[in-house]
Structure 1
């Protein structure tokens, strides 16, 4: 599968326009809709057509899509604008098309425009592939369902960018640790948006996504500051080029995993819940969050029903299994993720293994409808913690 991943990365880098999204139940027809086929966000209309669709009429276009550099489909781009509909889709795939089944929910679709009527399509199916793709094209899991930017687009508030630039100008180290990056991103964002603890408590689901985006913007700015002069200088040999590229990619990977924990930490502080991070449990396992903390967990007399576990993973399509062996005293393992959509079969397996997902409120619609009630939003989860802790 590494070969497909590398082809997908190269296709994005060489395409006119590229787009990515997590495959949802709505795409596969699992929600019971009349139309299956990949739904494309309205803000990405330029991927499909030269002009934006207009309400009151439909429009369509037929193209060739080369999938995984393995086979082609003659597919249809269509905009539905008649009646109450206002959406873009890709339809018409040959019989036996392998990427629109229930098991594909949660996979990452990548579509690249190579010419006016010729596209390349890829589907990545594991967390490792997805995260390596995000790292290579310089986006995060939260930047899917939109056009992949060819370069950093300065769209944030001027005050936010000025704050970021001041931070970079005053750095005394080559590259700050993840915790410092996350902290500075929040400080700049909160200052630019006059955000207080009360504002965080009003909408924690929105705020954690905003912080994740802000921190990723800051990371890219620091990266450009540190490496722009280096890549503009001719390399002595291929070995030096590869060494530099690996250094950049490895730093991106190491950053992504921990920043989510740092932002969750700040959310829980704003709500004044009792918890600890990185508590060592059986077998020297280290869960991300234990509520109320290590002392209670280590006390055999403490009521196990009042112990709460929360893991944090950017994507969870197969990595969710890693948390099932952590914190043996706690039967239900809560897992916060930015993943958009998981198949019914995987959700059933998670439930059987005692895993309950926690996702940003706006991401819940990407999961099969019959499972949404059992998925917590971040606000739901904090309410549950407060209830258990009697607050």
Structure 2
């Protein structure tokens, strides 16, 4: 039940006008280090993009409020603050942008959640103004983390992933589609699983440009590539599943193999598509 709630939440975020920020919570983020500056680290450039009104030095430490809602845990909404600590321009030393005041009961500041994969979805303002709300999910299990990493690739501690939700989480909506059997695969692919580059090269010959927008073109290319990937996957995996398994270990081995291949594809797909479009 909870997994379906989580998956629906991700799909909703992916399909609406959100900017997502994904990372594993560090000990400094959650306060596990006991340090003075406790709070989730968010790069200055992201805060600048989401809260343009505070990007100035006309006054000391300009700030703006936003509503922080945690969908993964049962805790009250809080009024977080995006602030530009700009005292360097007023004779002191500090010059950084942060989002603070997540609330005492927030899972973002629970030391037990150190290392947890976390998504912050900032609702973008249609007119380009300040973001007024952020929706948060702190993963509570490896199952939840696997859902995300299958779509975007492995997220290692210290890595920061951010961008428009449709681009970052687009693979999640693709996973809901049934296998498309309209493609005629090369004969040798029936004997071996092709590389990501081979699938993308093959997909290029089946891609029809329906938009002049580069982002939409990229998403369309990834849809075609994913359709073909699923067809190849079915070709190599479905018969094994139909034959059944002699032991639980055999089943787990196949499941891990499929999951790892999907993670690998998701992690490399965007890079390979960008490389192919440049050449």
TM-score, with normalisation over the residues of structure 2? 0.53
Q: Report the Cα distance in structure 2 between the residues aligned to 1:173 and 1:57, rounded to whole angstroms.
A: 66
C-alpha change, 1:223 and 1:31, in structure 2 (3 Å) is farther
After superposition, the C-alpha distances for 1:274-295 in whole angstroms (9 at most, x for unaligned) are: xxxxxxxxxxxxxxxxxxxxxx
Unmatched 5+ residue regions in structure 1?
153-170, 182-217, 233-242, 260-391
Pairs within 5 Å for 1:168-247: 177=193, 180-181=195-196, 221=200, 225=204, 247=230
The corresponding residue for 1:322 is: none
Q: Is the 8 A contact 2:21 2:163 kept in 1?
A: yes
Q: Report the Cα distance in structure 2 between the residues aligned to 1:25 and 1:93, rounded to whole angstroms.
A: 16
User: Is residue 109 of structure 1 aligned with residue 115 of structure 2?
Assistant: no
Q: Is the 8 A contact 2:54 2:62 kept in 1?
A: no
The corresponding residue for 2:214 is: none
Q: 1:118 aligns with which of 126, 133, 136?
A: 133
User: Is residue 255 of structure 1 aligned with residue 270 of structure 2?
Assistant: no
State how many pairs are aligned.
191
C-alpha change, 1:22 and 1:119, in structure 2 (3 Å) is same
The corresponding residue for 2:34 is: 32
**CA offset at residue 125 of structure 1?**
2.8
Q: Is the 8 A contact 2:199 2:229 kept in 1?
A: no
Q: Is the 8 A contact 2:47 2:82 kept in 1?
A: no
SS of alignment partner, residue 141 of structure 1: coil
The corresponding residue for 2:155 is: 141
**CA offset at residue 105 of structure 1?**
0.7
Q: Is the 8 A contact 1:58 1:81 kept in 2?
A: yes
Q: Report the Cα distance in structure 2 between the residues aligned to 1:123 and 1:226, rounded to whole angstroms.
A: 40
Q: Report the Cα distance in structure 2 between the residues aligned to 1:219 and 1:23, rounded to whole angstroms.
A: 36
After superposition, the C-alpha distances for 1:286-340 in whole angstroms (9 at most, x for unaligned) are: xxxxxxxxxxxxxxxxxxxxxxxxxxxxxxxxxxxxxxxxxxxxxxxxxxxxxxx
Pairs within 5 Å for 1:73-88: 73-82=78-87, 83-88=92-97
C-alpha change, 1:76 and 1:14, in structure 2 (3 Å) is same
C-alpha change, 1:99 and 1:45, in structure 2 (3 Å) is closer
Unmatched 5+ residue regions in structure 2?
126-130, 169-185, 212-225, 235-257, 266-279
User: Is residue 95 of structure 1 aligned with residue 104 of structure 2?
Assistant: yes
SS of alignment partner, residue 103 of structure 2: coil
**CA offset at residue 7 of structure 1?**
0.5
C-alpha change, 1:10 and 1:35, in structure 2 (3 Å) is same
Pairs within 5 Å for 1:373-388: none
Q: Report the Cα distance in structure 2 between the residues aligned to 1:144 and 1:177, rounded to whole angstroms.
A: 29
